[in-house]
Amino acid sequence: MQTESQIKAMVKEKYAAIASQEKEQNESSCCGATSSCCGTEVYTIMSDDYTKMEGYNPDADLGLGCGLPTEHAKIKSGDTVIDLGSGAGNDAFIARRIVGETGRVIGIDFTDKMIEKARANVEKLGFNNVEFREGDIEHMPVTANTADVVVSNCVLNLVPNKFNVLKEVYRVLKPGGHFSISDIVLQGQIPAELQQAAEMYAGCVAGAIQKEVYLEIIASTGFANIKLQKEKAIVIPDGILKEYLDEEKMELYKKSNTTIYSITVYAEKPLTAPAEKEACCGGTGCCN
């Protein structure tokens, strides 16, 4: 069993390699897992098409997402938006088109090569209200009560401690602010061989948790008005399964009730913090 620090190091290494690749190479990998076992079928299943969205910039699209959180995020002109795991800036630039000149977008990523790519993209576009900060989303380099909206696209499933990330989302949101996050969740159990595979972790599957647990964590951090905005089932192609499972285990898995979902979740930070949070930490949302 890998430690949290080992998992983070592995994810950082793999996504640094992805940052150096063209989108076409990432499309042929398992959600960017740089695994030769995956075909373009995986990309088609995991990702939604960004190309028709206003603000889309092809240089920022590495083909790594599992949803369109900015489409559902209720972003308004003048908002401050934080994008978690911002990569080359795809969602950040689409958010910027919505917030306009009076708004602000902050992208956060812990992979230095992704930050370099995103900053190069923003320089080419000439935006003065989009910035990218290198940092761990469990400890965001952002002051409390900064954002009107937080978005993220297929990133929390890569983080071992999702509770810590959601506590940070609560902290950086303004009272009354909200998030829209696309992610991968499970119903049922995937085989141990898939859970232990580094490629499947960086490929957005092995780090996924149960859907009910995911929603419970969101509620436990103080968020309200939690809604599923979108949900779609994902099928792992046989070509990937064969890399990790023998024929018997593959058939057992396919006959099981396990389902992998891409979901987009919306939730709000209340205008007034719950009483227990006020009592223990002044309403900052920092309590366990």
pLDDT digits (tens, 9 = 90+) for 112-143: 999 999 999 999 999 999 999 999 999 999 99
In a domain, 104, yes or no: yes
Q: How far apart are CA 132 and CA 79, in angstroms?
A: 17
Question: Cβ neighbours of residue 76 under 8 Å, at least 6 residues apart?
Answer: 98, 99, 148
Amino acid 41: pLDDT: 36
Q: How many residues does the chain have?
A: 288
pLDDT tens figures, 142-190: 999 999 999 999 899 888 899 999 999 999 999 999 999 999 999 998 8
The closest alpha carbon to 108, from 100, 97, 98, 119, belongs to 119
Amino acid 243: pLDDT: 82
In a domain, 280, yes or no: no
In a domain, 77, yes or no: yes
- Mean pLDDT of the chain, nearest integer: 83
User: For the domain that residue 103 is a member of, what is the CATH number?
Assistant: 3.40.50.150
Amino acid 49: pLDDT: 79
* Mean pLDDT confidence for 3-24: 70
In a domain, 242, yes or no: yes
In a domain, 286, yes or no: no
Mapped to the 3 state alphabet, what secondary structure does 170-217 carry? HHHEEEEEEEEEEEEEEECCCCHHHHCCHHHHHCCCCCCEEHHHHHHH
- pLDDT beyond 90 at 215: yes
Whether residue 14 contacts residue 34, with contact meaning beta carbons closer than 8 Å, is answered with yes
Amino acid 206: pLDDT: 67
Amino acid 203: pLDDT: 56
Domain count, the chain: 1
In a domain, 284, yes or no: no
Domain membership of residue 127 as a residue range: 4-275
